């Protein structure tokens, strides 16, 4: 159905084979196609614009990993930025408040609000053992309250008895009170929608909010919402104040660009996604999966990831063990330097590893940059095996010999030794916390 970004990028991917850093031209050419792909995935125009500019700033000058083409590198950067912008993984509904915790569901008509209300009630009941009460505040659609009652029967969750002629605000008050008296942990208010946003709807939502003090206000939106997503999310957030988003119909053909649009304008997390009509078709949100889907580029992303990981698992395990024991000698340092060199330098590798920012800074402050690889390897190469295994042996006369052998001087050697000491200390500290293996694996 969609022309994949991969197909579109074809000529760019093949045409550009430059090495080293991404040029302005590489980035611009690739971003033109990324822009089209995002628009086609239903990401709102204003969000696409600011997103592309952000990526452009990041991408120009970024190191290109060996064996990867510039266009692919751009896609990887785009993907990572998308994931970052989509926000946290699986942020749960927050029930951390005195019972009954009120969850208010808002959104347009037909967005899947009532269905999602039932799904969430079922989930909280089945998985968290919560006692839930649901109430429909939709007094405009005659069948709405009855629809929720039937869903309640289906998922075996209590619904507030229907009283004809009550206003939404009165039903909300009654629901909270019934929740309190009935010892319910959670009360979910399924509000009325409209076909479009209008003033009376916003006033009604604000009034309901006032009388029910919801702990969560979830905006339910169809994943196929296109350019309207921004307006929708912004209006609800500004007028009612939302705490999270639920995207429905993620089982459909849509690429889910609305997730990015709505997240971008509200900064609120996507908490759940609806993936079907059945009551258990509700899933946690995984930013990475959605980013893959928006771009339709999962293969390129994993290709780049693999290229960046010329990782020998056994070596990684051995290194982790060494770190834990605090033994990280100059042979190990040389290994790492070589590995980094073969992967296109620090910028490239570090940029692609999540959580490596701090490490990168630490290493940079220890004088560890791409230009020094060669010199440092030359220094280590001029040492004897014994010296590499035990840097403490390196007194003045030995340093003089090594400086001559590597075409450097004592200062360069001292700098290397200092860096090694700092890394060894850092690794020992990390190893001690039991995290060393995981973090360092990416470095080898
Ligand atoms: P409301 O007007 O916002 O309360 O919307 P409803 O809950 O009545 O849902 C409208 C239609 O969308 C119903 O036919 C639902 O079964 C369907 N629906 C809701 N969520 C999903 C979903 O995640 N996937 C699919 N395929 N259909 C859904």
Q: Give dist(CA 98, CA 444) in Å, integer.
A: 49
Q: Whose CA is nearest to atom 6 of ligand 1?
A: 112
Quickly state the pLDDT bin for 298 (edges 50, 70, 90): low
Query: Concatenated DSSP letters for 270-316?
Result: EEEEE-SSSTT-EEE--HHHHHHHHHT-HHHHHHHHHHH----HHHH
Could you tell me what percent of the chain has a pLDDT over 70?
Answer: 76
Q: Is the pLDDT of residue 303 over 60?
A: no
CB atoms within 10 A of CB 92: 11
Query: Concatenated DSSP letters for 318-359?
Result: HHHHHHHHT---HHHHHHHHHHHHHTTHHHHHHHHSTT-HHH
Nearest residue to 117 via CA among 187, 64, 61: 187
CB atoms within 10 A of CB 122: 20
Quickly state the pLDDT bin for 438 (edges 50, 70, 90): very low
Q: Is the pLDDT of residue 442 over 50?
A: no
196 versus 2: the higher-pLDDT residue is: 196
Q: Is the CB of 348 under 6 A from ligand 1?
A: no
- Which residues, 6 or more positions from 60, have their beta carbon under 8 angstroms from its beta carbon? 22, 23, 24, 27
CB atoms within 10 A of CB 396: 8
Q: Whose CA is nearest to atom 26 of ligand 1?
A: 276
Q: Is the pLDDT of residue 13 over 70?
A: no
Q: Is the CB of 115 under 6 A from ligand 1?
A: yes
Q: Give dist(CA 420, CA 414) in Å, integer.
A: 10
Residue range 339-367, pLDDT digits in tens: 666 554 554 444 444 444 455 555 555 55
- Token pair in block for residue 46: 């204003």
User: Which is it for the CA torsion 151, 153, 159, 164, positive or negative?
Assistant: positive
**pTM beyond 0.95:** no
Choose the residue to mutate in 277, 279, 281, 285 for probing ligand 1, maximizing ligand atoms within 8 Å of C-beta: 277
Break the chain into its structural domains and give their ranges: 5-88+297-306, 101-285, 311-441
Yes or no: say if 185 and 99 are a contact pair by the CB < 8 Å rule: yes
239 versus 296: the higher-pLDDT residue is: 239
Nearest residue to 246 via CA among 95, 115, 79: 115
What is the mean pLDDT of the segment spanning 1-11?
54
Residue 205 is predicted with a pLDDT of 94
* Distance from Cα 371 to the centre of ligand 1, integer Å: 57
* Distance from Cα 110 to the centre of ligand 1, integer Å: 6
Where is mean pLDDT largest: 52-66, 124-138, 321-335?
A: 124-138
Q: Is the CB of 251 under 6 A from ligand 1?
A: yes
Q: Is the pLDDT of residue 150 over 90?
A: yes
Is 191 annotated to bind a ligand? Reply is: yes
Q: Which CATH superfamily is domain 5-88+297-306 in?
A: SRP54, nucleotide-binding domain (1.20.120.140)
Q: Is the pLDDT of residue 131 over 50?
A: yes
Q: Is the CB of 136 under 6 A from ligand 1?
A: no
Q: Is the pLDDT of residue 404 over 60?
A: yes
Kind and range of the H or E run holding 254: none
Q: Is the CB of 170 under 6 A from ligand 1?
A: no
* Distance from Cα 312 to the centre of ligand 1, integer Å: 48
Q: Is the CB of 125 under 6 A from ligand 1?
A: no
Is 244 annotated to bind a ligand? Reply is: no
Q: Is the CB of 112 under 6 A from ligand 1?
A: yes
Query: In the CATH scheme, what is the code of domain 311-441?
Result: 1.10.260.30
Quickly state the pLDDT bin for 435 (edges 50, 70, 90): very low
Query: Concatenated DSSP letters for 54-103?
Result: HHHHHHTTPBPPTT--HHHHHHHHHHHHHHHHH--SSPPPP--SSSSEEE
Q: Is the pLDDT of residue 46 over 50?
A: yes
Query: In the CATH scheme, what is the code of domain 101-285?
Result: 3.40.50.300
Residue range 251-288, pLDDT digits in tens: 887 778 888 899 999 999 999 999 999 999 999 988 88
Backbone angles phi, psi at 283, to 5 degrees: -130, 160
In DSSP terms, 138 is beta-bridged to: none
- Token pair in block for residue 257: 């660009």
- Mean pLDDT, the chain, rounded, equals 81
Q: Is the CB of 388 under 6 A from ligand 1?
A: no
Q: Is the pLDDT of residue 109 over 80?
A: yes
Cα angle for residues 400, 406, 412 (degrees, 5° grid): 65
């Amino acid at each position: 159905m969609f022309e994949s970004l991969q197909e579109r990028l074809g000529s760019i991917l093949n045409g550009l084979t430059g090495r080293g850093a991404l040029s302005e031209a590489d980035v611009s050419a690739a971003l033109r196609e990324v822009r089209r792909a995002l628009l086609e995935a239903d990401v709102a125009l204003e969000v696409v614009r600011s997103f592309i500019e952000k990526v452009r700033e990041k991408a120009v000058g970024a190191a290109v990993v060996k064996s990867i083409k510039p266009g692919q590198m751009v896609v990887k950067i785009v993907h990572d930025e998308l994931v970052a912008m989509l926000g946290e993984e699986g942020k749960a509904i927050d029930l951390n408040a005195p019972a009954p915790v009120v969850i208010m569901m808002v959104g347009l008509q037909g967005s899947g609000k009532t269905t999602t209300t039932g799904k969430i009630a079922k989930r909280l009941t089945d998985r968290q053992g919560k006692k839930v009460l649901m109430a429909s505040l939709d007094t405009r659609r005659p069948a709405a309250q009855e629809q929720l009652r039937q869903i309640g029967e289906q998922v075996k969750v209590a619904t507030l008895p229907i009283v004809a002629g009550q206003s939404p605000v009165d039903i909300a008050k009654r629901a909270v009170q019934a929740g309190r008296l009935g010892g319910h942990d959670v009360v979910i208010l399924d509000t009325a929608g409209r076909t479009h946003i209008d003033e009376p709807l916003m006033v009604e939502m604000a009034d309901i909010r006032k009388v029910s003090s919801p702990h969560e206000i979830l905006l339910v939106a169809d994943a196929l919402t296109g350019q309207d997503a921004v307006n929708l999310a912004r209006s609800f957030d500004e007028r009612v104040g939302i705490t999270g988003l639920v995207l429905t119909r993620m089982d459909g053909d849509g690429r889910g660009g609305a997730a990015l649009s709505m997240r971008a304008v509200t900064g609120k997390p996507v908490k759940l996604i609806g993936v079907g009509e059945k009551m258990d078709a509700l899933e946690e949100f995984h930013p990475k999966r959605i980013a893959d889907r928006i771009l339709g580029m999962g293969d390129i992303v994993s290709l780049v990831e693999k290229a960046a990981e010329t990782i020998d698992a056994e070596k990684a395990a051995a290194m982790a063990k060494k770190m834990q024991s605090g033994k990280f000698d100059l042979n190990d340092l040389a290994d790492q330097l070589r590995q980094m060199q073969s992967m296109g330098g620090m910028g490239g590798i570090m940029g692609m590893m999540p959580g490596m920012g701090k490490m990168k800074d630490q290493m940079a402050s220890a004088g560890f940059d791409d230009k020094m690889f060669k010199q440092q390897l030359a220094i280590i190469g001029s040492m004897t095996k014994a010296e590499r295994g035990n840097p403490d042996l390196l007194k003045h006369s030995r340093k003089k010999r090594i400086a001559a052998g590597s075409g450097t001087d004592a200062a360069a050697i001292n700098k290397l030794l200092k860096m090694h000491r700092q890394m060894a200390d850092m690794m020992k500290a990390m190893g001690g916390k039991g995290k060393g293996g995981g973090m360092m694996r990416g470095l080898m």
